């Protein structure tokens, strides 16, 4: 459906109100799509934040009704990491470096603020340069190690699945169906409201879903596709 047709439809009368889209938040749907789809690429994000969205039904009734089973599948898929040798140790090291850079940032801002508000304090002139150097070094080390260790963790997980291609195969199929439910919900929302699909693009690691159109392919700095919902296709009732 073109923008002209949507604009013409909206000019002819008041905005369409349909109980099926009341309370639906397309931004929430997009976030959940990305995080759940990532499990199919063996990237296991914490999805505990989805629970309030399920309770509010802002991501659709059908997905919310199936969330309990979906969540169980995600948890079981993520647990496989504990059986991969050395992965827990790497994750623990990564968490230490995460704490390091997260502590460094507030220290730098506090010193900067105090230096501006009280530039005449003698001790600041002596201590601040050393503290800032340590803080910057910690920040750089933390961010770099996050990438480096995260990359090693990812390689070990992918190596495990290369050696065990059938691991969680049925669960991955279930996760694909769960993501399709969310895409269908967003598809329905756009058809009913007439909003522009380009305003509600989503990120996906996998692209074997119905009613999507690729707008951006992965780049070295972005390991996922950007897609928009193809709303000229029929949507599920």
Summarize pLDDT for 86-120 with one digit per residue, the tens.
Answer: 777 777 777 777 777 677 777 777 777 776 676 67
- 9 or 200: which carries more pLDDT confidence? 200
Q: Is the pLDDT of residue 71 over 80?
A: yes
Phi, psi angles (nearest 5°) of residue 196:
-75, 125
Q: Is the pLDDT of residue 168 over 60?
A: yes
Lowest mean pLDDT of 38-52, 83-97, 175-189, name the range: 83-97
Find out whether 194 and 10 touch, Cβ atoms under 8 Å: yes
Summarize pLDDT for 11-20 with one digit per residue, the tens.
Answer: 444 454 566 6
Secondary structure of residue 145 in the 3-state scheme: helix
Lowest mean pLDDT of 71-75, 95-99, 207-211, name the range: 95-99
Q: How would residue 182 be classed by pLDDT, with cut points 50, 70 and 90?
A: very high
- What pLDDT was estimated at residue 10? 46
- What pLDDT was estimated at residue 157? 81
Mean pLDDT of 197-221: 94
Find out whether 190 and 229 touch, Cβ atoms under 8 Å: yes
**How far, in Å, CA of 153 to CA of 174, rounded?**
24
Q: Which of 201, 158, 160, 195 is CA-nearest to residue 183?
A: 201
Q: Is the pLDDT of residue 85 over 60?
A: yes
Phi, psi angles (nearest 5°) of residue 34:
-60, -45
Lowest mean pLDDT of 78-82, 130-134, 150-154, name the range: 130-134
- What pLDDT was estimated at residue 12? 46
Mean pLDDT of 70-88: 83
Question: How large a percentage of the chain has pLDDT more than 70?
Answer: 82
Q: What's this model's pTM, rounded to 2 decimal places? A: 0.69
**For 18, which DSSP code?**
-
Q: How would residue 125 be classed by pLDDT, with cut points 50, 70 and 90?
A: low
């Amino acid at each position: 459906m073109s923008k002209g047709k949507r604009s013409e439809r909206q000019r002819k009368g008041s905005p369409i109100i349909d109980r099926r889209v009341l309370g639906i938040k397309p931004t929430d749907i997009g976030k959940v799509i990305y995080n759940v789809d990532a499990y199919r690429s063996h990237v296991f994000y914490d999805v505990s934040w989805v629970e309030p969205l399920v309770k509010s039904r802002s991501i659709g009734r059908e997905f919310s009704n199936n969330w309990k089973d979906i969540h169980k599948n995600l948890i079981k898929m993520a647990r496989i990491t504990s059986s991969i040798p050395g992965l827990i140790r790497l994750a623990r090291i990564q968490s230490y470096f995460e704490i390091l850079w997260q502590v460094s940032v507030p220290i730098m801002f506090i010193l900067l603020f105090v230096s501006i508000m009280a530039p005449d304090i003698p001790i600041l002139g002596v201590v601040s340069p050393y503290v800032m150097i340590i803080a910057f070094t910690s920040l750089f080390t933390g961010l770099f190690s996050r990438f480096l260790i995260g990359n090693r963790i990812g390689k070990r997980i992918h190596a495990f699945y290369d050696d065990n291609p059938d691991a969680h195969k049925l669960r991955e199929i279930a996760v694909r169906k769960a993501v399709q439910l969310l895409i269908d919900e967003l598809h329905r929302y756009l058809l009913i409201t007439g909003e522009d699909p380009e305003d509600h693009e989503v990120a996906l690691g996998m692209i074997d879903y119905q009613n999507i159109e690729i707008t951006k392919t992965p780049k070295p700095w972005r390991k996922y596709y950007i897609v928009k919902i193809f709303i000229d296709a029929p949507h599920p009732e």
